[in-house]
Amino acid sequence: MTPAVSRRTAELGTENAFVVLAEVHALVRSGKDVISFCIGQPDFPTPANIQEAAIRAIREGRHGYTASAGIDELRRAAAAYLGRMRGFDIRPEDVVVAAGAKPFIAYTILSVTDAGAGDEVIYPNPGFPIYESQIAASGAVPVPLPLREARDFAFDPAELEARITPRTKLLILNSPQNPTGGILSRRVLEDIAGILRRHPKVWVYADEIYSRLVYEGEFQSIASLPEMYERTVVADGASKTWAMTGWRIGFAANSALAPHFVRWVTNTESCASHVSQWAALEAIQGPQDEAEAMRASFLRRRDLIVRLLNEIPGVTCGTPGGAFYAWPNVTEACRMIGAGDSEVFRKRLLAEAGVAVLADIHFGTRVPGEGQHIRFSYAAPEQSIEAGIGRMAEFIRKNTRRAA
């Protein structure tokens, strides 16, 4: 008999993009032709200058542990980069490097809440599924904050204020947002900051990993507003901007929490990959031509996929302001083909048309009154976007005729 696992482990959530990707790989192995839009990572190679920096680091013997906070060179560069993007100075000692930005979600929750104390964490819904998973695993109470399609997938600040209680310890913000591509505008951020000033004991986790993928106007961070940086964890990283998802380098900044993050890193990963840190240093300090070219390509793809989706009967899709995700409303399409909800639609789209997407329920409990949605990652070649949306359109047309 195998001993039992903990309830925490048994109930731990996951990132469903990887679950669906496993389904896709199984179908491909069986011979099915599948066009996949389910994984959120750039489809470009890491720029050559960054690769060369890693090779130099290997040849120069940079193979051992680093300080848990990261190499000094990268902390200085990341501090300057984060500050420059947000319009204020960040000290190198406020910055901690980790194996991707994702660990800082857990490190922040663990640093500001106590397990079993009833501490609450407010997070966006729909949202990156690891938010809710890590809140629950850490022993805190998840409090979902609904995003509204009518607000371009921002939330109503009044709904935020209604959810803040004496037990609220942390608010998670994500802009540009996964899965909707929504943006928190300067005006919305100012409204949020005004609310938070009335609740000075609430921390903020600003997940800004898509900060370089904003398509209209400039990136805005709540940390740049008066009195906000002191209580805000600014989280960013190398994965999305420089196509470095597998290199696993993220960085976070906050003067009060940085020493605690260092101890969490020491207790978990010891340090981020030594070689990857030197590669990330080159990413920040080296030429930005390829990063800008990737952004320009994502913008073209965004415009293409939004146009094509809106040409399909039963589908409507707003224009996302950032990241590389489209979040079309398929409520009417579900009705037309007799699919009970977006998850049934997703499964049938994969099985019958060979198009892999994610459903809204993979990003949290469906928000009442907001309809049915699916997520496309348009980090895919334009020809794949055209072919995949074409298959989806034909899938809906064919099944509508059958339903009729």
Domains and CATH numbers, the chain: 7-32+290-403 (3.90.1150.10), 48-285 (3.40.640.10)
Question: Would you state the torsion angle of the CA atoms of residues 189, 371, 216, 227, taken in this order, to the nearest 10 degrees?
Answer: 10
Confidence at residue 403, expressed as pLDDT on a 0 to 100 scale: 63
Per-position DSSP letters for 148-178, written without gaps between them: BGGGTTB--HHHHHHH--TTEEEEEEESS-T
For 130-156, the pLDDT digits (tens) are 999 999 999 999 999 999 999 999 999
Per-position DSSP letters for 56-85, written without gaps between them: HHHHTT--S---TT--HHHHHHHHHHHHHH
Which ranges of the chain have pLDDT less than 50? none
Q: Which two tokens stand for residue 161?
A: 């204020």
CA pair distance 329, 379, nearest whole angstrom: 20
Q: What's the whole-model pTM score? A: 0.96
Alpha helix (H) residue ranges in 94-241: 103-112, 129-137, 157-163, 186-197
Omega into 381 within 30° of 0, i.e. cis?
no
CA pair distance 109, 105, nearest whole angstrom: 6
Q: Which two tokens stand for residue 250?
A: 């993220």
Contact 400, 337 (CB under 8 A): yes
- Number of residues in the chain: 404
Contact 221, 206 (CB under 8 A): yes
Where is 348: in which H helix or E strand?
helix 342-353
Residue carrying structure tokens 């009442």: 368
Q: Calculate the CA 121 to chain-centre distance.
A: 17
Q: Which two tokens stand for residue 236?
A: 């960013």
- Classify strands 358-359 and 374-377 as parallel, antiparallel or unpaired: antiparallel
Contact 57, 278 (CB under 8 A): yes
Confidence at residue 404, expressed as pLDDT on a 0 to 100 scale: 60
Residue 368 — φ and ψ, nearest 5°?
Answer: -55, 135
Side chain identity, residue 299: L
For 82-113, the pLDDT digits (tens) are 999 999 999 999 999 999 999 999 999 999 99
Question: Would you state the torsion angle of the CA atoms of residues 175, 178, 181, 186, taken in this order, to the nearest 10 degrees?
Answer: -10
